[in-house]
Structure 1
């Protein structure tokens, strides 16, 4: 699979990341087969979070992978922390404890990447900086990033945190494309989209922060998958038309649409179906034309000014 640089980390990562949120639903044998398929396809970047399956997803992954020091070097592990029941928590103590527990569940000594999961309005960036320094010094985390953060939230962290923030995980799909749509509607009185994220797309490109789109097939907030949905007949017709041209599935085209953007994004694929994962990985070989990209964008009900 094609690779890209992850921010300024120096890591070369596959353009498709394997999201492990649903791995807690798999039996060990199923998880083993899924992980093996991913690795055979070059998908060796696995995205976790301490809340996925209440921590079980990380445990099942490590057990199914057969984690040991030799095998550990063949994969790239990313996890997230900062969400607690009824609150978000970026305190130093919570970050450090969370990482220790993540490492224990994953049966490893270090994470390649740690992301702060959801913005904590009570964040004290000095504490985040202390936590990151400790984790880096102790060799527990090699690179750091954020998730679901807009530019000023990142700037606040960057004022204190000395480590580069190499990734920002954000919701993006063909139907949930406000970070793109708002960029078309500059200085428009009747703008078709509200700028909800402070220009995060351009900000990340300017600062070499890799955007990792999550829920690349969802519409709304986990309301459903747009592929095959009767809510999006025009979009599905257009995707199917282009899929037939390239002799791939509609799943492949949906991911190829994200990969076509020059921001060099790394979509996080949440499926636990090996066949569908392979269809997503196939998008690495597809280069949509500019016209095809815009046709899909418009077919989703998006408009140009």
Structure 2
């Protein structure tokens, strides 16, 4: 099927900040979750809501499905909560075990089955967004499109997107899909800057070491595919867990800017992503209620970073002048 997507449409604005739920549900093993795990999930969800965060990012593999399951428990015991939030999940990765290696699987029947399983665990009738978690080299884009459109017709998924895909992969899938792809989730942060470096190292020897697929950010901007950033806080590298001289210097600058603007260092780090013209939506991975609340400024306020402040953060983090 040929897409009728308007490729000149502006980017779809997703929620300013999403709470990544990978840390919910206990350990990374098939053992059952506990009542304490449900309580911890409820505390994280409540902290997010108090901070203006109403979008929650899942994947079927997170904690072997337990992340979705404990979230579903919280939904079941909190009447009206489902109507107040956006639920996003991902599928397409099969975890390895003692008998089988981990693989990617975007076959149509697998996608349908995985969505149905996620809905059961989440105790909801539909996902607001489904992302394809990783590219599957054996996938047939026409088969994927057929499965996604079937899920949409049944009312099981409202919007679709991808994760960890480059421009060519997105374009190939969209060519077979009538529905517009709404989002692409990538690792993006002050620490992981290759998505940004790619655009300024053109025609320099350093460009060969970037590795980020050229034109992916620009493709998403042009075709209205919202960008979401996973690991946007870089595991706290600029808010207390510095390891290198560049990280220490950047953390000092982040703290300086946070004090000047009356906000938190976490908010400044997220503002740096949000200030980009792509209006990147960070997916914060912490489940610590206090750290979630520290991100409130990014969820409720426009990024308060000037042109030079944004560049100071970038240059300090990269530890070298721009070319």
What TM-score do you get using the length of structure 2 for normalisation? 0.85
Residue from 239, 245, 257 that aligns with 1:227: 239
Residues 179 and 201, structure 1, Cα contact 8 Å, conserved in 2: yes
Alignment of 1:1-305 (within 5 A): 13-25=14-26, 27-66=37-76, 70-85=80-95, 86-191=102-207, 193-218=209-234, 225-228=237-240, 229-231=242-244, 232-284=247-299, 285=301, 286-301=303-318, 303-305=321-323
**Matched residue SS, 1:77:** strand
CA distance in 1, matches of 2:264, 2:19: 19
- Over 3 Å counting, the alpha-carbon distance change for 1:12 and 1:71 in structure 2 is farther
Unaligned runs of 5+ in 1: 1-6
Tell me the residue number matched to 2:4: none
CA distance in 2, matches of 1:35, 1:8: 33
- Once the 2 structures are TM-superposed, how far is the Cα of residue 281 of structure 1 from its aligned partner? 2.2
**Matched residue SS, 1:24:** coil
- Over 3 Å counting, the alpha-carbon distance change for 1:261 and 1:78 in structure 2 is same
CA distance in 1, matches of 2:10, 2:127: 13
- Once the 2 structures are TM-superposed, how far is the Cα of residue 187 of structure 1 from its aligned partner? 2.1
- Over 3 Å counting, the alpha-carbon distance change for 1:12 and 1:69 in structure 2 is farther
CA distance in 1, matches of 2:11, 2:204: 39
- Once the 2 structures are TM-superposed, how far is the Cα of residue 264 of structure 1 from its aligned partner? 1.1
CA distance in 2, matches of 1:9, 1:56: 36
CA distance in 2, matches of 1:28, 1:41: 20
- Over 3 Å counting, the alpha-carbon distance change for 1:67 and 1:8 in structure 2 is farther
- Once the 2 structures are TM-superposed, how far is the Cα of residue 11 of structure 1 from its aligned partner? 7.7
- Over 3 Å counting, the alpha-carbon distance change for 1:28 and 1:88 in structure 2 is same
CA distance in 2, matches of 1:238, 1:121: 42
- Over 3 Å counting, the alpha-carbon distance change for 1:28 and 1:145 in structure 2 is same
What TM-score do you get using the length of structure 1 for normalisation? 0.90
Cα-to-partner distance string for 1:264-305 (whole Å, 9 max, x where unaligned): 111101111112112112124241011111001011125411
Task: Report which stretch shifted further, 183-192 or 285-294.
Answer: 183-192
- Over 3 Å counting, the alpha-carbon distance change for 1:67 and 1:129 in structure 2 is farther
Cα-to-partner distance string for 1:231-275 (whole Å, 9 max, x where unaligned): 122111211111121122221211111111121111101111112
Aligned length: 295
- Once the 2 structures are TM-superposed, how far is the Cα of residue 64 of structure 1 from its aligned partner? 1.7
